[in-house]
């Protein structure tokens, strides 16, 4: 096979396109591949596919995958076609998307690498700038979003995420499969409304639960958007309730610590995480550790016991759930400890939503995983201080988009 035919095959060219020269430019470490259009062939109008006539041509270049580590550039004089009905249009070349400066194979490679690596790594490997990679990714996202035609919206999950260095937030809406469906700026009522509006209403008609933290803004958004359906949809999942309860234990612990003499304080401080962990995760040694501190940390021990009790209710999924929670809240209030009273109020105020989440049986683990992954993405990627780029990367990594060029 000669090298012209080889490049025909690599680029997937067929008549009227063919490779006409391959030049090696040693000084610039580049390979220049010239592809030509057979002018004996009457071109078709890109709009109506009817016969047109060659009008003129424009020279264009595209970066292709490297050949033996040489930067490889495709060059072609791309004809413009005159159609009696549609005027003058540039012919679509088979190896690249219109208006792109890269071949589809090159773009696909960028997308595949960027899925697995940081942008800096891709940038180094392909000798391509951040902003060019970003453009390729955004085009990929646009292709993927335009191709999303059926997404399971039965169980939705909304959460806020902060953006690394600034005190800025975004709202992320995902489904039970762990797919990011929509992202909006801020964490207000309007943020969630914007997310919901971006999803076709017929998909949302199948929604059975919308889990969230107990933020007033999201609750209001759900009521405003779903109307009377909202109270049946809003669920406060285990993750968020457990987080609130754990925080209250921590607050009680801090209050207890303040009362200790400094030597004991130091000793107890070392074990602060034991109090916040699940009881079932503690080994005998850790358990004994907690017991040994219980005299010094009596309020924390009470709070810890309540936290464990809440976990039992959650695990049990008994039909009397509502009553179990009410009883739990009574106990929490009876402690007279402010953080526990506050969390008891929270549980009572959101009881319907808590029970909805328990009944829906929808596991929140994927949504939690997404949240964690988004935070990791935030931490690992230096370029994500740019908010728009960060949002694009969330779609790209967790939107499960089909960014390929095949149709
Ligand atoms: Zn036409």
- Residue 267 domain-assigned (yes or no): yes
- Tell me how far the alpha carbon of residue 162 lies from the centroid of ligand 1, in angstroms: 50
Q: Which of 349, 370, 389 is the last residue of a domain?
A: 349
76 is in which domain, residue-wise?
A: 3-95
- Tell me how far the alpha carbon of residue 239 lies from the centroid of ligand 1, in angstroms: 57
Q: Which of 349, 366, 397 is the last residue of a domain?
A: 349
Can you give the pLDDT of all 407 residues of the chain as single tens digits?
688 998 898 888 988 999 999 999 888 889 999 999 988 878 889 899 998 899 999 999 999 999 888 999 999 999 999 999 999 999 989 999 888 999 999 999 999 999 988 888 999 999 999 889 999 999 999 999 888 878 889 989 998 888 766 678 889 999 888 889 999 999 999 999 999 999 999 999 999 889 888 888 999 999 999 999 998 888 887 777 888 899 999 999 888 888 888 877 777 777 777 777 777 777 888 777 777 777 778 888 899 889 989 888 888 766 678 899 999 999 999 999 999 999 999 899 888 888 888 877 666 666 677 778 887 776 655 555 677 888 888 899 999 898 988 75
- What is the number of structural domains in the chain? 2
- Tell me how far the alpha carbon of residue 183 lies from the centroid of ligand 1, in angstroms: 39
Rg from Cα positions in the chain? 30
- Residue 378 domain-assigned (yes or no): no
- Residue 271 domain-assigned (yes or no): yes
- Residue 80 domain-assigned (yes or no): yes
- Tell me how far the alpha carbon of residue 47 lies from the centroid of ligand 1, in angstroms: 5
Report the DSSP pairing between strands 209-211 and 234-235.
parallel
- Tell me how far the alpha carbon of residue 176 lies from the centroid of ligand 1, in angstroms: 46
Residue 13 φ then ψ, to 5°: -85, 145
- CB burial readout 358-374, b (16+ within 10 A) else e: bebebebebbbebbeeb
- Residue 368 domain-assigned (yes or no): no
What CA–CA distance (Å, rounded) separates 213 from 159?
7
- Tell me how far the alpha carbon of residue 79 lies from the centroid of ligand 1, in angstroms: 15
- Tell me how far the alpha carbon of residue 130 lies from the centroid of ligand 1, in angstroms: 38
The model's pTM is 0.76
- Residue 315 domain-assigned (yes or no): yes
What CA–CA distance (Å, rounded) separates 383 from 385?
5
Q: Which of 95, 114, 137 is the last residue of a domain?
A: 95
């Amino acid at each position: 096979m000669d090298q012209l035919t080889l490049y025909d095959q690599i680029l997937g060219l067929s008549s009227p396109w063919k490779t006409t020269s391959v030049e090696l430019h040693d000084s610039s470490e580049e390979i220049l591949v010239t592809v030509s259009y057979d002018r004996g062939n009457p071109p078709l109008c890109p709009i109506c596919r009817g016969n047109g006539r060659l009008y003129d041509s424009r020279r264009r270049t595209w970066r292709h995958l490297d050949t033996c580590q040489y930067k490889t550039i495709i060059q072609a004089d791309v004809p413009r076609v005159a159609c009696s009905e549609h005027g003058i249009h540039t012919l679509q070349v088979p190896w690249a998307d219109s208006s792109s400066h890269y071949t589809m194979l090159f773009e696909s490679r960028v997308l595949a690498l960027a899925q697995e690596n940081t942008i800096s790594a891709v940038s180094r490997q392909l000798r391509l700038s951040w902003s060019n990679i970003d453009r390729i990714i955004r085009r990929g996202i646009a292709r993927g979003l335009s191709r999303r035609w059926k997404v399971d919206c039965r169980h939705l999950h909304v959460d806020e995420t902060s953006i690394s260095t600034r005190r800025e937030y975004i709202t992320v809406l995902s489904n039970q499969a762990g797919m990011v469906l929509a992202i909006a700026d801020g964490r207000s009522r309007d943020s969630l409304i914007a997310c919901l509006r971006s999803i076709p209403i017929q998909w949302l008609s199948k929604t059975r639960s919308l889990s969230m933290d107990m933020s007033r803004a999201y609750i209001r958004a759900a009521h405003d958007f779903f109307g009377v359906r909202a109270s049946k949809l809003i669920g406060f999942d285990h993750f968020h309730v457990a987080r609130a309860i754990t925080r209250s234990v921590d607050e009680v612990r801090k209050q207890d610590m303040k009362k200790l003499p400094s030597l004991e304080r130091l000793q107890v401080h070392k074990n602060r995480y034991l109090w916040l962990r699940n009881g079932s995760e503690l080994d005998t040694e850790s358990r004994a550790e907690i017991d040994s501190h219980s005299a010094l940390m009596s309020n924390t021990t009470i709070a810890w016991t309540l936290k464990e009790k809440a976990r039992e209710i959650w695990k049990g999924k008994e039909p009397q759930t509502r009553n179990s929670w009410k009883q739990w809240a009574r106990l929490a209030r009876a402690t007279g400890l402010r953080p526990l009273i506050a969390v008891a109020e929270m549980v009572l105020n959101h009881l319907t939503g808590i029970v909805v989440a328990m009944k829906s049986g929808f596991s929140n683990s994927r949504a939690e995983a997404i949240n964690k992954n988004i935070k990791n993405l935030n931490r690992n990627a230096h370029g994500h201080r740019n908010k728009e780029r960060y949002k694009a990367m969330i779609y790209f990594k967790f939107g499960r988009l089909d960014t390929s060029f095949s149709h």
